[in-house]
A = this chain, B = another copy of it.
Amino acid sequence: MGANSSASVTPQIAPDQPGISDLFAVLAYGEISAFYRLVEEAQLSPSLRGKVAVAKMAASEMNHFTTLERALSERDVDVFDAMAPYVRALDAYHASTNPSTWLESMVKFYVGDGIAADFYREIAGALPPEIADVVRDVLAETGHSEFVVDEVRSAVAANRQEKDRLTLWGRRLLGEAITQAQFVMAQREELADLLITATGTLNGIVALFDRMQESHSQRMQVLGLM
């Protein structure tokens, strides 16, 4: 835990660092807000199949929440107290990316999930193994959002205007996510410290956002966008 070399990939964060509870808390509120938003956005689905697929995604968010609640309780932290500072920023992300069509909803399920997972997985790389396991567990690809790929791909292949619209929509999702991630980090010094330790330096944070942009582009390509 001595010298801070940016090249080092070994965990530099102690298991009792307070920022870890903050990380669990922001993930926990992320699951709750995603749960309620998914269900609301599923109302745009024209079919029962779509609603069932979304309900399964939402249920797995709640299973993740339970994991985080337990992890916080093992650290003697009440999940509701710990989540409170993050409610506003995460609600703001969803409010600013309110889909108006079922295609927009589907792109948001797929792309939004991916962005969040990238961000937290980068932090997980610097965490002690038992903490990293919790983070990776709750970010595990459930495969539930895969159902959107075929639907979006065929919709945009058939319609150039829809493709352009959804490409812009995807770009906006990334922009809003990064804006709100910065607000989240600004809420608690402990969390910002964790991110800086995880990425090594301020340059490391820039590199992290570059990698997120890169993964985002790959996901957009999978959807047949851009």
CA distance A80 to B53 in the complex (A): 12
Known: A48-B80, A48-B83, A49-B80. A32 touches B56 (CB 8 A): no
B32–A48 contact, CB under 8 A? yes
Tell me, rounded to whole Å, the shortest Cβ–Cβ distance linking A75 to chain B: 18
- Tell me which of B42, B48, B63 contacts A59 (CB under 8 A): B63
A51 CB within 8 Å of chain B: yes
Tell me, rounded to whole Å, the shortest Cβ–Cβ distance linking A85 to chain B: 13
Residue of B nearest to A56 (CB): B62
Contact string, A81-94, partner B, CB cutoff 8 A, digits 1/0? 00100010000000
A110 CB within 8 Å of chain B: no
- Which of chain B's residues have a CB closer than 8 A to the CB of A39? 35-36, 39, 58
Contact string, A25-59, partner B, CB cutoff 8 A, digits 1/0? 00000001001100100100000110110011011
B36–A52 contact, CB under 8 A? no
- Tell me which of B49, B51, B66, B80 contacts A36 (CB under 8 A): B51
A66–B56 contact, CB under 8 A? yes
- Which of chain B's residues have a CB closer than 8 A to the CB of A60? 59
- Which of chain B's residues have a CB closer than 8 A to the CB of A42? 36
- Which of chain B's residues have a CB closer than 8 A to the CB of A58? 39, 58-59, 62
Q: 9 closest A-B pairs (Cβ-Cβ)?
A: A59-B62, A59-B59, A39-B39, A35-B55, A55-B62, A56-B62, A49-B80, A48-B80, A32-B52
